A and B are shown apart, each in its own frame.
Chain A
Amino acid sequence: MIRIPRPVVPAAVCLTALALLTACTAGAATTSGGYAGQQMPGMQAPMTLAMPQPITANPNDPMKSQLRGAKTFDLGLMLVDGTGYTIYRYDRDSTDPSRSNCNDACAAKWVPVKAGGPAPIDVDPSLIGQITRDDGTQQATLAGWPLYHFTGDSEPADTSGQGADQAWYPIAPDGKKITLTQDEWRQNAFGV
């Protein structure tokens, strides 16, 4: 009778298990790879989708001059333009008298909201006014604050300009600045 050396049995078990393990992990990896590939449709017939565009795409779009109050799920009421993009105020401007201290390079980055846009929605019309800027153009104001678009925003209600230079903030429909961030909102909403 052939005697199988003692260590051979457990060794065989271990090797089988190892082989199984390698095969399975490899299999799982290929599966997830194929899955990730499916995620990218990309290759179908082109369909022109109207996506909300930033101020840089079309600065003369009249909707960009429309003032609108709207509620977001996290920051509450915000002033936006007719395309849903955030409108800002600048702490270094003055309200009495209403005056902008953002010109030239600053105004290229923070584009003044043109006065005289389409009728406002959900904003108190008595708070809306306008000023003549140093370059002679007309800028819309809210509660005395000159209003701006931010060229760094790329989506509706994007607030990427919030807190810039510790002076730029989204403006609420009542003229107050919005300092609340999404992270702070989340902590407040679910904290004790």
Chain B
Amino acid sequence: MRSASELATLEFDPPSALVRARPLVRILFVVLAVLTLLAPGTASTAQTTAVSDTDAVLLTKVRQAGLWEMPSGMMAMEKGSPQVKAVGFAIMMDHGRLDVATRALSAKLNSPVPDQPSDEQRGWLLEQMNAAPGPAFDRVFANRLRAAHGQVFAVLAQLRAGTRNDDVRAFATVGNQAVMRHMTMLESTGMVDYTALPEPAVSTTAAPAGAPLGLDTSQIAVVAALFLLVGGGLFYVLRQIKGNRSRGRVRTSSRPATVRTGGSHG
């Protein structure tokens, strides 16, 4: 009750001051409105580009690599020539170590990873199963694994270069070294056909290597909308300020009417 009456007296006591301050209040209101609209917008763009999507792609890629390369390594230990047997064993062990790191990071970042190889990877495993032991198996093993490692290597490099997450950066550093080693070991078998590499690299694995990493059209549109918002707000504020100033000038100076026409037409 008392507060209401106080408010009433406040409102009616200095009417002239309030009227004079009105343009300023309006400017302040617009600035606040623009800021509140902007705040959630910037937050959501930061989330999509910095943390979740690309980091999740990396975890998924490395996890999925282990899911078919560990069984591949085991098969190599049975069906490969002596050198391929040793390479298969080393790859299986390294992927075990990478997989432990992947699952730990997946749990920490609450970013789930698949637990089954993709259809394409199953196809490659089937190819290895059907290949005759010895050189025929060696060729399928070395080429399929080398191509798949090339794909993962590209994703690791991009994330190592650009991720915003410290844990993902450390993980990508480790993964990069492991995959580099595997490519080199596979090449050491002398079985890798380099001219065939581009074909598996553009294959239709569930997770496309590069797509989620670039700016897509919706992200560009978000940025454009933000520019519109900021620009619109700024434009309005500037006009308010300009209007105030020219109104003040009319009272004090005797400027020619031509200057004022632009302002009055609005």
Contact = CB atoms under 8 A, between A and B. Distances in A.
A binds B: yes
Contacts of A158: 96-97, 100
A66 to B, nearest CB: 11
Contacts of B60: 39
A26 to B, nearest CB: 9
Given A14-B33, A21-B41, A74-B177, A39 B225 contact: no
Nearest to B68: A49
A10 B170 CA distance: 47
B116 interface: yes
A75 B89 CA distance: 16
A166 interface: no
A13 B233 CA distance: 9
A21 B225 contact: yes
A39 B116 CA distance: 10
A57 interface: no
A25 B222 CA distance: 7
Nearest to A5: B266
A157 B93 contact: yes
A182 B101 contact: yes
Interface string A148-169: 0000001111111000000000
Given A39-B206, A155-B100, A28 B236 contact: no
Interface residues on B, range: 35 or more
Q: Which of A20, A73, A155 lies at the interface centre, i.e. has the most chain B CB atoms within 10 A of its CB?
A: A73
B92 A156 contact: yes
B177 A84 contact: no
A38 interface: yes
A25 B40 CA distance: 11
Interface stretch (A125-133, A136-144, A172-180, A183-191): A183-191
Interface string A30-51: 0110011011111010010111
A92 interface: no
Given A7-B236, A74-B177, A14 B97 contact: no
Contacts of B44: 25
A14 B233 contact: yes
B109 interface: no
A118 interface: no
Contacts of B219: 24, 28
Given A41-B114, A158-B97, 4 more contacts: A38-B206, A44-B119, A84-B92, A186-B174
Leading 3 A-B pairs by shortest Cβ distance:
A156-B96, A155-B96, A10-B236
13 contacts: A6-B239, A10-B236, A14-B232, A35-B212, A39-B114, A41-B114, A49-B68, A49-B71, A50-B75, A51-B70, A52-B70, A73-B178, A84-B96
Interface of A: 3, 6-7, 10, 13-14, 16-18, 20-21, 24-25, 27-28, 31-32, 35-36, 38-42, 44, 47, 49-52, 68, 70-75, 80, 84, 154-160, 182-183, 186, 189-190
